[in-house]
A and B are shown apart, each in its own frame.
Chain A
Amino acid sequence: MKAISVDLEKCTGCRTCEVVCSIEHTDAVWPERSGIRIMESYPRVFTALVCHQCVDPPCVPACSVNALELANGIVLVNQDLCTGCGECVDACPYEAMFLDKKSNLAVKCDLCQGNPTCIKYCPDEAISLEATASNQKGGKG
């Protein structure tokens, strides 16, 4: 299992990834529904928040309504069950689970069925799929 990884040396903070991720999943430009977020700290320093696809994801047991399903190694949010309580957001050690408060819905990266959209559209070519400690066999969240 691999996860989305952003090369911060290359990232220019344009947030095109947020635009295309949200269009891919909702047909609308909707950064609040993007599975990847580019954060900026002063002065103009970028970090990327995106699911690490943990092999032992702490978000799943945190959900009291079983809205998070682990399918083929990817945690998916069941939109019909999610109540927007935010427990999974608190449980994620990578701040990579997001909450759309207006819709009461948890939002996360789902790797686009194996063909990530953000990788295709990033003008910096800064995004790739990488194996990390958290998503390899024996790794923890």
Chain B
Amino acid sequence: MKRSPLKPRLQIKKEGKDSLPNGFAGGTIDIDLTKDKIKKGRLNVSEMRGLIGGKGLGAKILYENLKQGTDPLSPSNIILFLNGPLTGTSPACNRLIVVTKSPLTGTFNDTYAGGQFGSELKFAGYDYLSVTGKAAKPVYLWINDDEIEIRDAKHLWGKDTHETELKIKEDLGDDRIRVACIGPAGDNLVKYAHVNVDLYRQAARGGAGTVMGSKNLKAVAVKGTGKMELADPKGYMDAIAEITKIYMTDSGAQAFTQFATASAVNYANLHGLFPTNNFYEEVFADAENLSGEAQREKVWTRDTACFACPIRCSKMAEAKKGPYKGSVVEGIEYETAAMMGSNLGIGDLDALVYLNELSDKLGLDTLSTGNAIGFAIECYQKGIITSKDTDGLELKFGDPEVAIKLTKMIAHREGIGDILADGVKEVAKAWNKGSEAFAMEVKGLEMPGWSPRGSPGQSLAYATADRGGCHQRGWPIAAECEGLPSKLGEPLQRYTIEGKPEYVINDQNFLSATYATGACEFVRTIELFSTAEGLVRLIPLVIGWDMTNDEFMKVGERIWNLIRLFNLREGFTRKDDTLPKRVLEEPIPSGPSKGFNLGQVQFEEMLSNYYKLRGWDKKGVPTKAKLDELGLGQYR
């Protein structure tokens, strides 16, 4: 067992003279836009340990306050902007967590952004902002330390995300204000509109931006000049010095800094997991063009970072030649390279810089947008839709101009864009003719850029993720592909179902607790943080809780079960923990996994094992015993 170099010092500091807690801000904001009411409150920090905060606190608030069956686009929906008790510290603890009921899926939705906003909210004195109701006219919120205003946003409505943020900073006269806003896609209630944060980060998935649009809430602006107390400031400084040293010699983390998420392009392609042409193929001939190496050489101009993060995985990119010359974006992240690149048959890096910039400014989740466009192209090729439906636009893979046109049409709900804006699940229902078989979604959330067809583990992860088809709750791919010792038992075999439920459950619990703290999931590129150990070292120094690894994982399990109860209450059942026919029944046509398909029988067996290990019944409902064990008995 590796001996940890950190020696946490538990000199718990007394609460400061301002009575601030450690880690947490201690303050809350509740706004009802219908009633035009702002209410400030205090967070009961002593009750937080079981859920930590962030994702956990968001789950509790939504479960307790949102009536079953609430229409996500009605004024009754609630949208929360939270941080975590670690948000505001190194390494990589800077997350804004946006929680709401998704208008795309109807499930619980939690979506994340790095940047500065979450930390700024902490310094302003708040652990969360809750918004319900609907403003009579477009507004934005201005949180200026303890002064909170609802301000007129009529002049911002319709503006793109960059114009909006820059105008707000100009109006308020301060460049160091942090802004979360929506673009035209959110204004137009595109179901996968994102929340743009600090210009270049996005809380992208599940339509959180759509909910803002439905409330006439164009933006939230925040300025925080206060402090975040630490339980053990000296111990924390020692720990960060140590962690930074560890990071500098961690080859995995260093590689991630060098090539960021784009480093996964070649990896995914090599292992036949790179979605191509609407997930029809698993390998892409032009993958090399989109790789981290190609991006570093051809388009990256600078490395940038989110607040207090040593990993610095963000990259500024600029198209330096061709028809898209001058286009600038922070990217191209792996997911965008996959979903708007290979998934659309596009290998033109400069075109992708433009497509990424366009989507970010219009306020569209690039994953869902790329997925929806890919679906439309396949339907067109199969004759399910024709040029009559597309106003004469010929849809084909490998054509950036088609992707660009459709992206704009979606954002503005024009022509076929108006249909695609509701998400592939709805579109497949409308167009029918067997298209459901290749509508690549789970529970209505479009699948991201890791194709699950050649990965039983990832198939399970997508089918059971809390917010729909998502890779950021469980990611067994590396362990599966490389036969890594899973830390839980035998090394995983690629194409079997053995060991996959254990691995996915462990990931889901671990990441839920991680997302509750306010840490970015990429903190686990530093090996120390690849298990609970890393964050458990920081928690006593920042928050003052002497937490064990087991307790940390239990928090994650608790959060996961609470969200399961929310989704069950909204009517989701075992039959929704599934995957489209293309994943379960269509043999993969080429590449390293040629001929493979998981099959319904194997999938159902794997899912049953997953439920059993989770302490859920055969229908996927947490048993009384499990809920009591987790202290969730009152929610049954």
Contact B227 A12 (CB under 8 A): no
Q: Which residues, 6 to 55 on A, are CB-close (under 8 Å) to B?
A: 12-16, 19-20, 22-24, 26-33, 39-44
For the complex, is B265 an interface residue (Cβ under 8 Å from A)? no
Contact A43 B316 (CB under 8 A): yes
Asked, given contacts A39-B176, A42-B166, whether A12 binds B233 with beta carbons under 8 Å apart, the answer is no
> Among the listed stretches A56-64, A78-86, A120-128, which one makes contact with chain B, having 4 or more residues with CB under 8 Å of it?
A120-128
For the complex, is A100 an interface residue (Cβ under 8 Å from B)? yes
Q: Which residues, 64 to 123 on A, are CB-close (under 8 Å) to B?
A: 100-102, 120-121, 123
Asked, given contacts A20-B240, A22-B227, A23-B230, whether A29 binds B303 with beta carbons under 8 Å apart, the answer is no
Contact B312 A12 (CB under 8 A): yes
For the complex, is B379 an interface residue (Cβ under 8 Å from A)? no
Residues of B within 8 A of A40 (CB): 175
B145 contacts which of A12, A43, A44, A102 (Cβ < 8 Å)?
A102
Contact A12 B303 (CB under 8 A): yes
8 contacts between A and B (CB under 8 A): A13-B305, A14-B305, A14-B306, A16-B308, A16-B309, A22-B227, A30-B228, A32-B224
Contact A100 B225 (CB under 8 A): yes
Asked, given contacts A23-B236, A44-B302, A102-B145, whether A29 binds B312 with beta carbons under 8 Å apart, the answer is no
Residues of B within 8 A of A16 (CB): 90, 308-310
For the complex, is B16 an interface residue (Cβ under 8 Å from A)? yes
For the complex, is B241 an interface residue (Cβ under 8 Å from A)? yes
Interface residues of B (CB under 8 A from A): 13, 16, 88-90, 116, 123, 145, 162, 166, 175-176, 199-200, 224-230, 233, 236-237, 240-241, 244, 247, 302-310, 312, 314, 316, 328, 330
Q: Please give the distance in Å from B598's CB to the nearest CB on chain A.
A: 42
Cα A22 to Cα B233 in complex, Å, equals 11
Interface residues of A (CB under 8 A from B): 12-16, 19-20, 22-24, 26-33, 39-44, 100-102, 120-121, 123-124
A27 contacts which of B224, B233, B247, B307 (Cβ < 8 Å)?
B233
Cα A121 to Cα B225 in complex, Å, equals 22
Residues of A within 8 A of B314 (CB): 12
Cα A124 to Cα B310 in complex, Å, equals 8
Contact A44 B166 (CB under 8 A): no
Contact A14 B309 (CB under 8 A): yes
Q: Please give the distance in Å from A12's CB to the nearest CB on chain B.
A: 4
Contact A44 B89 (CB under 8 A): no
B199 contacts which of A26, A27, A31, A43 (Cβ < 8 Å)?
A43
Contact A44 B304 (CB under 8 A): yes
Cα A124 to Cα B257 in complex, Å, equals 11
Residues of A within 8 A of B310 (CB): 14, 16, 123
Contact B330 A44 (CB under 8 A): yes
Q: Taking CB as reference atom, which chain A residue is nearest B176?
A: A39
Cα A22 to Cα B483 in complex, Å, equals 45
B227 contacts which of A20, A26, A42, A124 (Cβ < 8 Å)?
A26
Contact A30 B312 (CB under 8 A): no
Cα A16 to Cα B93 in complex, Å, equals 11
Contact A124 B89 (CB under 8 A): no
Cα A23 to Cα B330 in complex, Å, equals 30
Residues of B within 8 A of A24 (CB): 237
Asked, given contacts A14-B307, A23-B237, whether A33 binds B175 with beta carbons under 8 Å apart, the answer is no
Contact A32 B123 (CB under 8 A): yes
Residues of B within 8 A of A13 (CB): 304-305
Contact A19 B230 (CB under 8 A): no
Task: Kindly name the residue among A33, A41, A43, A100 whose own CB sees the greatest number of chain B CB atoms within 10 A.
Answer: A43
Residues of B within 8 A of A44 (CB): 199-200, 302, 304, 316, 330
Residues of A within 8 A of B116 (CB): 15
Task: Kindly name the residue among A12, A13, A101, A120 whose own CB sees the greatest number of chain B CB atoms within 10 A.
Answer: A12
Residues of A within 8 A of B316 (CB): 43-44
Contact A28 B227 (CB under 8 A): yes
Cα A57 to Cα B516 in complex, Å, equals 47
Q: Taking CB as reference atom, which chain A residue is nearest B310?
A: A123
Contact B229 A28 (CB under 8 A): yes
Cα A121 to Cα B247 in complex, Å, equals 12
Q: Please give the distance in Å from B555's CB to the nearest CB on chain A.
A: 23
Residues of A within 8 A of B244 (CB): 121, 123
Contact A29 B145 (CB under 8 A): no
Asked, given contacts A14-B309, A14-B312, whether A29 binds B175 with beta carbons under 8 Å apart, the answer is no
Cα A121 to Cα B240 in complex, Å, equals 8
Q: Please give the distance in Å from A66's CB to the nearest CB on chain B.
A: 26
Asked, given contacts A14-B310, A44-B304, whether A19 binds B227 with beta carbons under 8 Å apart, the answer is no
Cα A16 to Cα B309 in complex, Å, equals 7
Cα A27 to Cα B234 in complex, Å, equals 8
Residues of A within 8 A of B225 (CB): 32, 100-102
Cα A29 to Cα B227 in complex, Å, equals 6
Residues of A within 8 A of B227 (CB): 22, 26, 28-30, 32-33
Contact B328 A43 (CB under 8 A): yes
Given contacts A32-B123, A44-B200, 6 further A-B contacts (CB under 8 A): A12-B303, A12-B305, A16-B309, A27-B13, A27-B230, A28-B228
Residues of B within 8 A of A39 (CB): 175-176
Residues of A within 8 A of B162 (CB): 42
Can you list the 6 inter-chain pairs with the closest CB atoms, starting with the nearest? A123-B310, A14-B305, A30-B227, A28-B227, A32-B225, A12-B305
Contact B175 A102 (CB under 8 A): no
Contact A121 B304 (CB under 8 A): no
Q: Taking CB as reference atom, which chain B residue is nearest A32?
A: B225
